[in-house]
A and B are shown apart, each in its own frame.
Chain A
Amino acid sequence: SQQGEEDPQALSIQEGENATMNCSYKTSINNLQWYRQNSGRGLVHLILIRSNEREKHSGRLRVTLDTSKKSSSLLITASRAADTASYFCATDELGGGGADGLTFGKGTHLIIQP
């Protein structure tokens, strides 16, 4: 079953604008991660935020986590055409007791118009 659910399913913006994607999940987590997938390729890890963190930055990426609402957001600032891809949130559920698989949402398809 899908844990994370991204919103919106698709987003189209102009180059240079900021893009915000949201993710909701259902269970308690160790951490939440965001991945990017370019068309026809595998997923690439972008950023991880632990359950005791509220905000994290990496370059043009900003991630927030609200464990009380079981939600996260990914902000990409000053978007570029190369940011066009699908973005997935993934949760590492609490109490796994080992390397459990991450549970992925269905993703947000982001299109950056040049």
Chain B
Amino acid sequence: DAGVIQSPRHEVTEMGQEVTLRCKPISGHNSLFWYRQTMMRGLELLIYFNNNVPIDDSGMPEDRFSAKMPNASFSTLKIQPSEPRDSAVYFCASSFRDGANVLTFGAGSRLTVL
């Protein structure tokens, strides 16, 4: 298995532009998580899905953020419009909920909004 795959690895965009981050979880995993990492706030859980259904999006900072999981092998996190304070590394992680909740992380998408 190639692990959790995220794209793009790096994105530089201008304020006001739409940003779409993509994630392919590990095949067979039934939970998917989006985290954001910054120096100031550390790792923050934005949203997670169980069996493709969004369960808790209370961590999504604003309505500018949205996430979808149309099928078990793909998820997107969209920011529209982007702002400089959205600059961060965004991680996708997946797990198989079997009594433990061990996460496998992707390599992350580093977003810079100018």
B residues less than 8 Å from A41 (CB atoms): 107-108
Of the residues B56, B102, B106, contact of A101 by C-beta under 8 Å: B56
- B42-57: contact bitstring with A at CB < 8 Å (1 yes, 0 no)? 1101001010000110
Interface residues of B in 79-113 (CB under 8 A from A): 91, 93, 95, 97, 100-108
Output the least CB separation between B36 and chain A (Å): 11
Q: Let me know if A42 and B50 touch, CB within 8 A.
A: no
A25 to B59, CA, bound (A): 19
Q: Let me know if A33 and B102 touch, CB within 8 A.
A: yes
B residues less than 8 Å from A101 (CB atoms): 33, 35, 45, 48, 56, 59
Asked if A45 meets B48 with Cβ closer than 8 Å, knowing A88-B43, A99-B97, the reply is: no
Within 8 Å of chain A (Cβ to Cβ): is B30?
yes
- A75-114: contact bitstring with B at CB < 8 Å (1 yes, 0 no)? 0000000000000101010000011111111110000000
Describe A's contact surface by its main secondary structure. Answer: strand
Write the chain B residue with the least CB distance to A96: B101
A99 to B95, CA, bound (A): 8
A51 to B80, CA, bound (A): 41
- Residues of chain A whose beta carbon lies under 8 Å from any beta carbon of chain B: 2, 30-31, 33, 35, 41-45, 48, 88, 90, 92, 98-107
Q: Let me know if B30 and A100 touch, CB within 8 A.
A: no
A residues less than 8 Å from B50 (CB atoms): 98-99
Within 8 Å of chain A (Cβ to Cβ): is B31?
yes
Q: Let me know if B43 and A104 touch, CB within 8 A.
A: yes
Q: Let me know if A43 and B91 touch, CB within 8 A.
A: yes
Q: Let me know if B48 and A44 touch, CB within 8 A.
A: no
